[in-house]
Amino acid sequence: MSTQSDPHISLRPATSDDLKQILSIEVQSYPEPWKIDHFESELERPYTRALVLTDDETDTIVVGYIIYWIQAEGVSLLNLAVDPKWRGFGFGMKLMQAMIKEAVNEDISRIVLEVRESNQTAITLYESIGFKVTHKRKSFYSNGETALVMEIKTSEASSTVQ
Ligand SMILES: CC(C)(COP(=O)(O)OP(=O)(O)OC[C@H]1O[C@@H](n2cnc3c(N)ncnc32)[C@H](O)[C@@H]1OP(=O)(O)O)[C@@H](O)C(=O)NCCC(=O)NCCS
């Protein structure tokens, strides 16, 4: 499979058939990974969007995924991960752009997310889009780590997807 400069990677809604690969990426990506039933229940919620990036050739190699809620009061990012083998090729940004595009199209005014204070890679990605820290949630994660709550007005993020 080629990389970002190659167009043979596409975005589509995730299905239960993707969960095995999603879980494999999930456990390599987070200290407290979601379990399969968490993914399954998100796939069933009417306001959840779950997207995967897969190879066009077989449509079975999952490179990364994004899961977010689309609600009138805001879009909430729940989960974003790229296979460690494919990090640094722009796929994380591509997944973020898909979420932002939907927020623009649905005319939802803001996008919010939480990120571990220690997750500098993700924080750099979010800051490069224009997300700002609004507040902190102390001991948010079960290991006691603080969450940064970050937010952007959709109108300010829209330049990222033009
Ligand atoms: C965060 C994550 C999704 C980024 O995916 P990615 O495909 O590697 O990211 P991209 O290649 O699209 O990079 C986009 C931007 O992120 C930032 N970034 C990516 N990797 C970085 C690194 N190792 N160090 C610092 N910044 C980094 C840069 O700003 C980069 O833009 P640039 O390439 O123009 O410099 C990926 O590292 C991951 O899956 N991490 C584990 C799960 C996770 O932490 N998810 C976020 C939870 S809130």
Measured CA to CA in angstroms, residue 63 lies from 22, 55, 57 at distances of 9, 8, 13
For ligand 1, mutation pick of 9, 125, 145 (most atoms within 8 Å of CB):
125
Question: Could you tell me which residue, 76 or 3, shows the higher pLDDT?
Answer: 76
**What is the CA(119)–ligand 1 centre distance, in A?**
10
Instruction: Name which residue sits closest to atom 7 of ligand 1, judged by CA.
Output: 92
Mean pLDDT of 60-76: 97
Long-range (24+ apart) CB contacts under 8 A made by 120-126 are: 122/80, 123/148, 123/150, 125/92, 125/93, 125/96, 126/96, 126/150
pLDDT at 127 over 80: yes
Q: Which among 101, 80, 88, 95 is positioned nearest to 159, based on CA atoms?
A: 101
Ligand 1 contact via 92 beta carbon (within 6 Å): yes
Residue closest to 75 by CA, chosen among 54, 51, 39: 51
Q: Is 1 a residue whose pLDDT tops 80?
A: no
With 70 as the cut, is the pLDDT of residue 111 above it? yes
pTM: 0.95
CATH of 9-161, one of 3.40.366.10, 3.40.50.880, 1.10.10.10, 3.40.630.30: 3.40.630.30
What is the rounded CA–CA span in Å between residue 81 and residue 67?
A: 9
pLDDT digits (tens, 9 = 90+) for 74-110: 999 999 999 999 999 999 999 999 999 999 999 999 9
Give per-residue pLDDT as tens, 5-32.
455 999 999 999 999 999 999 999 999 9
Q: Check residue 2 and give its pLDDT.
A: 52
- Chain mean pLDDT for the chain: 94
Domain ranges of the chain: 9-161
pLDDT at 160 over 90: no
